[in-house]
Amino acid sequence: MAEPGTLENPISIAAALARVAAAKSDAPAVTCEDKTVTWRDLHRRSNRMARGMAANGVKFGDFVTIALPNSIAFIEACYAVWKLGAVPQPVSSRLPLAELNAIVELAKTPIVVSDVPFACERPVVSSQALLAAGKDDSDLPDVVAPSWKAPTSGGSTGRPKLIVSGQPGLVDGLNAQFWRIAKDDTMLMPGPMYHNGPFITAFGGLQIGARLVLMTRFDAETTLRETERHRASWIYLVPTMMGRIWRLPEEVRAKYDVSSLKTVWHLAAPCPAWLKEEWIKWLGAEVIWELYGGTEGLASTTISGSEWLKHRGSVGKVAIGGIMKAFGPDGNELPIGQTGEIYMKRAQGLPASYRYVGASPRVINGDWESIGDIGWFDEDGYLYLADRRTDMILVGGANVYPAEIEAALEEHPLVASSAVIGLPDEDLGNRVHAIIQPRPGLDLEELQRHLGERLVIYKRPRSFELVDENVRDDAGKVRRTALRDERIAKLKAGT
Amino acid sequence: MSSLGAPPTEFLSIGRNLARLAAEKPTAPALTVAEHTLTFGELHARSNRMARGLKQQGVKLGDFVTIALPNSLDFIVAEFACWKLGATPQPVSWRLPAHEINAIIALANAPLVIGDSTTLKAERPVVSPDALVALSSDASDLPDAIALSWKAPTSGGSTGRPKLIVAGNPGVVARGASEGALWRYSGSDTVLMTGPLYHNAPFGLSATALHTGAHVVLMVKFDAEETLRLIERHRATWLYLVPTMMSRIWRLPNREQYDVSSLKTIWHMAAPCPPWLKEEWIRWVGGETLLELYGGTEGQTITIIDGNEWLAHKGSVGKPLALGEMKAFSADGKMLGPGETGEIYLRRDPSLPPSYRYVGAEARTLPGGWESLGDIGWFDAEGYLYLADRRTDMILVGGANVYPAEIEAALDEHPLVASSAVIGLPHDELGNQIHAIVQPRPGLDLDDLRQHLAARLVSYKQPRTFELVTENVRDDAGKVRRTALRDERMKK
């Protein structure tokens, strides 16, 4: 007999919010710093905002660009968009104008929702103006958006594209279950909501009635303080955040009660093994969960802390729905244990998980697609990632993977963040160059000794560059292509 | 990954799913009626054209569209055309009297009726499938849309007025969770559908089979021997029956002449199956092949039992699925224990969204969300449900639900009928036949009364037998005691 859950009917995202609002009306839904909105108000205000958007020309099936920082208004705006059967298209609130205009042109959005006025090729409307334009806050006719999100890519190709989800604006219980979110959970979100990971997890929880606490920007100690203050049971992190929290002085970290945490997810970038191990020791193996996958949602792997201890360094096994394989440069599938580019596709009969607007997928052999990662599988089917293909450095014929060097650098207590790139070298083709954000007191000779203990000689950086700022962005990603291009331009200019 | 929750369900609109199938296997047969077959490519293209035709006629996202067609290729094409616009197909019998169809169209507020415009008269435009397809030669894909509800069949209802039972499920196909697994079909199956598509189960099961990529063979009208002939001809692997059909097939003298060895799954539902008949079928096709389902169109929850389980729990209709509960209650509202007989109430897990909503009626719900389908029964210690009888205010005629109040309302509308009561009397093949007890006024002519009813009721709802009495059949409170009336007739 089949699983009985197959007869559970999904409902629209709007109807799901209405159900939670009826059940938990006065309970807090979203908290951001000192502001909280109840479920009833979230539902009613997003009804009003939806009417405001409709008055500004938003209709069924439109993409609506939302350029708001983490805030209650961001959440309300997304719900307003869904309530019209439209598709939220979130972007950074600090995007350079040229990039924003390129995205807006792809999305053909009727309006850009932003609380900071600026000149744009489309009307820019604030969340307050949308609320004011909505004439009433009663429920709208129910509708299902044909896609539930259209984020932009991290931008590794240089030109922006939209990644339009193949999933419609529907809710069932299983999405939240996948992320280990129950309706009584309090989620803490230090990541930017316009990024895919924060977006899908935070809304996945809100859709079943879990409470969301948003941070406007990540800060290590504030994360611990907010965890204690709200008794957060679930948190989203990226490895950079884990590193900064871990490096807080022992007495600061110990000051806060984080025993409420039942699930910690980390995504978005490879996590150094030593750091992961420390977190497992600190919070427990059953609490720490990792996911690897692209915004495209073709396939993903997940791994619990306990599994990871048995398969150190792995990002997990492929979750149901997707297939992943390692391929050699000749396009042949590689056997177990051999390193190659990781290609993914949907399991047989599953719908397309996404479509691009503004780009074409990298496809081989018909329907295998790559998101540019290099790795291998063990005999139990666990995937181990070596690096991103696009950032591989060829040094005198040897392949050097920046992630490995960065992991070694960041293991040093006085390295705050780092990025490793290849710079042109007449002799070797490329040389390894390290960009480092130091903590006070970092000594380069001592660092080189530290690396000498960890890396074979050809992998050690030939040059070091010290910078004041974090070399990773808010989402914990390092944009090596951009960093490399800047350095090469300077070299050419002779500076 | 046992420690992780279930993987997220993947949904795609019914329209996109058909586009996927049309791309994957454009020339594979999707649908066959008599000598005509539509491939997946053709079904997709024709329903794209019909969707554009419907759009031109004013159908839009969220509308109900009444479909009043006999079982045919275009009935299914019309369903897909509606889904592709985000509209909800609202199936009705194509032989509904104008009176009844107008009441339903008014509830549905359908912009039009898809039907035979030369025979069907209604208060909204009736447009034939061919005319709709002729409106557009553009067979390309439409912008994606999702119907909020994927079906809205009707029910006569105990009040005597029709109502729509609007499914809670939207117009999407869930991949990964695979609804096909529950019904035991997949893209390699050939499904023989014997029942009328305007009934809930044939409508739902044929559509769901197509969503998995199965080949669906539709019968225009059930015929026992033709069923066996079609199984053999198409090597059908999956078959839908109701007990009346099982009985007619069983009684065929030349049953053994046909090769039905291709059958892997046979479902029966819609009415109680006499145990002797079920036993014969299990012996014939095997216990693992014969499956039974019990539940209502409202879909709060269902019970399922296969033939082997049934042999170990003879007479049971199975255990309820985990997404809801069923319990027996006494007349004074107490929940009964194993072995105690009472009215069966069911409810969906309250944390789940409702499985349906009514248009034109209020759900009769007890505190705690319990609802009744009007059946009497009991549970054994293992949780298997056994049905004893139906509460007599609904009559099952050949698997179709007939509500006495609706027939009585039609009878009482005649100026020469003083009062009336309608009951079901046992019938070998149909299970029940409709019997009308009428208190006439002077001058009532039965032929005239039959004509009057034919203008108001679809044929299966019309009484087979009439009985004239001199006294009011209702008590002083205006209530009709159908159980007592029926018991008296059964004794005779």
CATH of the domain at A436: 3.30.300.30
**Quick check: is A245 in a domain?**
yes
Instruction: Check residue B183 and give left, alpha or beta (phi > 0: left; psi -120 to 50: alpha).
Output: alpha
Residue linked to tokens 């586009």: B19
Q: Where are the alpha helices (DSSP H) in B148-274?
A: 179-183, 200-212, 224-234, 243-250
Task: Report the side by side order of strands in the sheet with A124-125.
Answer: A87-90, A63-66, A112-113, A124-125
Q: What does the block give as tokens for B273?
A: 């199956």
Q: What is the pLDDT of residue A368?
A: 87
**Quick check: is A383 in a domain?**
no
Contact indicator for B190, B231 with CB cutoff of 8 Å: no
Question: Shortest Cα distance from A8 to chain B (angstroms)?
Answer: 7
Q: What is the torsional sign of CA A109, A115, A120, A122? A: positive
Which of these three, A346, A377, A408, is where a domain ends? A377
Most confident of A246-250, A438-442, B43-47: B43-47
Say yes or no to pLDDT of B177 above 60. Answer: no
A158 and A22 in one domain? Answer: yes
Average pLDDT over residues A361-387: 84
- Give the model confidence (pLDDT) of B393-411 as tens digits: 778 888 887 888 788 888 9
Say yes or no to pLDDT of A355 above 60. Answer: yes
Which of these three, A377, A403, A438, is where a domain ends? A377
Question: Shortest Cα distance from B187 to chain A (angstroms)?
Answer: 10
Question: Shortest Cα distance from A290 to chain B (angstroms)?
Answer: 11
- Give the model confidence (pLDDT) of A21-30 as tens digits: 999 999 999 9
Q: What is the pLDDT of residue B395?
A: 87
Q: Which of B83, B146, B304 to mutate to test the interface with A (most CBs of A within 10 A)?
A: B146
Secondary structure (DSSP) of A212-252: EEE-SS--HHHHHHHHHHHT--EEEE-HHHHHHHHTS-HHH
A174-190 burial: b if 16+ Cβ within 10 Å, else e: bbbbbbbbbbebbbbbb
Say yes or no to pLDDT of B158 above 70. Answer: no
Q: Where are the alpha helices (DSSP H) in B293-437?
A: 307-312, 404-412
CB < 8 Å to B13, chain A: 146, 168
Q: What is the pLDDT of residue B392?
A: 57
Contact indicator for B292, B305 with CB cutoff of 8 Å: yes
Q: What is the pLDDT of residue A398?
A: 64
Secondary structure (DSSP) of A402-433: HHHHHHHHHTSTTEEEEEEEEEEETTTEEEEE
Query: Residue B196: CB partners within 8 Å, gap ≥ 6?
Result: B70, B71, B93, B202
A337 and A401 in one domain? Answer: no
The least confident of A136-145, A408-417, B79-88, B348-357 is B348-357
Distance from C-alpha of A129 to C-alpha of A45, rounded to nearest angstrom: 12
Q: Do B181 and A2 touch (CB under 8 A)?
A: yes
CATH code of A90's domain: 3.40.50.12780
Distance from C-alpha of A267 to C-alpha of B228, rounded to nearest angstrom: 57
Of A4, A141, A319, the CB nearest to B1: A319
Determine what percent of chain A is predicted with pLDDT higher than 90. 62
The least confident of A245-259, B55-69, B171-185 is B171-185
Q: What is the pLDDT of residue A482?
A: 84
pLDDT tier for residue B31 given thresholds of 50, 70 and 90:
very high
Q: Do B61 and A2 touch (CB under 8 A)?
A: no
**Quick check: is A382 in a domain?**
no
Determine what percent of chain B is predicted with pLDDT higher than 70. 95
B348: helix, strand or coil? strand
- Give the model confidence (pLDDT) of B102-150 as tens digits: 999 999 999 999 999 999 989 999 999 999 999 999 999 999 999 999 9
Of B1, B6, B10, the CB nearest to A177: B6
The least confident of A114-128, A235-249, A424-438 is A424-438
Which of these three, A320, A346, A377, is where a domain ends? A377
Q: What is the pLDDT of residue A389?
A: 58
Q: Do A19 and B353 touch (CB under 8 A)?
A: yes
pLDDT tier for residue B160 given thresholds of 50, 70 and 90:
low
Distance from C-alpha of B276 to C-alpha of A451, rounded to nearest angstrom: 83
Q: Do B5 and A177 touch (CB under 8 A)?
A: yes
pLDDT tier for residue A287 given thresholds of 50, 70 and 90:
very high
Q: Do B176 and A321 touch (CB under 8 A)?
A: yes
A432 and A373 in one domain? Answer: no
A422 and A362 in one domain? Answer: no
Q: How many structural domains compose chain A?
A: 2
Q: Which of B3, B9, B326 to mutate to test the interface with A (most CBs of A within 10 A)?
A: B9
- Give the model confidence (pLDDT) of B226-279 as tens digits: 999 999 999 999 999 998 899 889 989 999 999 999 999 999 998 778 888 999
- Give the model confidence (pLDDT) of B188-223 as tens digits: 999 999 999 999 999 999 999 999 999 999 999 999
Strands (E), B179-302: 190-193, 215-218, 238-241, 265-268, 290-294
A28 and A148 in one domain? Answer: yes
Query: Residue B17: CB partners within 8 Å, gap ≥ 6?
Result: A351, B173, B211
Q: Do B168 and A9 touch (CB under 8 A)?
A: yes
- Report the chain B residue with the minimal C-alpha distance to residue A23: B351
Q: What is the pLDDT of residue A157?
A: 41
A409 and A358 in one domain? Answer: no
Question: Shortest Cα distance from B470 to chain A (angstroms)?
Answer: 51
Average pLDDT over residues B426-443: 91
Of A4, A141, A174, the CB nearest to B321: A4
Q: What does the block give as tokens for A424?
A: 């042109």
Number of H helices, E strands in chain B: 14, 28
Q: Do B182 and A180 touch (CB under 8 A)?
A: no
Q: What is the pLDDT of residue A428?
A: 73
**Quick check: is A303 in a domain?**
yes
Q: Do A6 and B20 touch (CB under 8 A)?
A: no
Question: Shortest Cα distance from B225 to chain A (angstroms)?
Answer: 31
**Quick check: is A181 in a domain?**
yes
Q: Which of A3, A9, A143 to mutate to test the interface with B (most CBs of B within 10 A)?
A: A9
Q: Do B174 and A15 touch (CB under 8 A)?
A: no
Q: What is the pLDDT of residue B373?
A: 80
Of B1, B9, B177, the CB nearest to A302: B1
**Which domains does chain B carry?**
8-24+36-177 (3.40.50.12780), 395-491 (3.30.300.30)
Average pLDDT over residues B24-43: 97
Q: Do B10 and A321 touch (CB under 8 A)?
A: yes
pLDDT tier for residue B391 given thresholds of 50, 70 and 90:
low
Distance from C-alpha of B6 to C-alpha of A302, rounded to nearest angstrom: 12
Say yes or no to pLDDT of A316 above 60. Answer: yes
Q: What is the pLDDT of residue B172?
A: 94
Say yes or no to pLDDT of A154 above 50. Answer: no
Domain residues for the domain of A424 are 392-493
Q: Do B10 and A167 touch (CB under 8 A)?
A: yes
A194 and A118 in one domain? Answer: yes
Mean residue pLDDT across chain A: 89
Q: What is the pLDDT of residue B419?
A: 84
Say yes or no to pLDDT of A4 above 50. Answer: no
Distance from C-alpha of B258 to C-alpha of A443, rounded to nearest angstrom: 90
CB < 8 Å to B187, chain A: 349
pLDDT tier for residue A2 given thresholds of 50, 70 and 90:
very low
Q: Do B5 and A174 touch (CB under 8 A)?
A: yes
Average pLDDT over residues A467-490: 85
A104 and A64 in one domain? Answer: yes
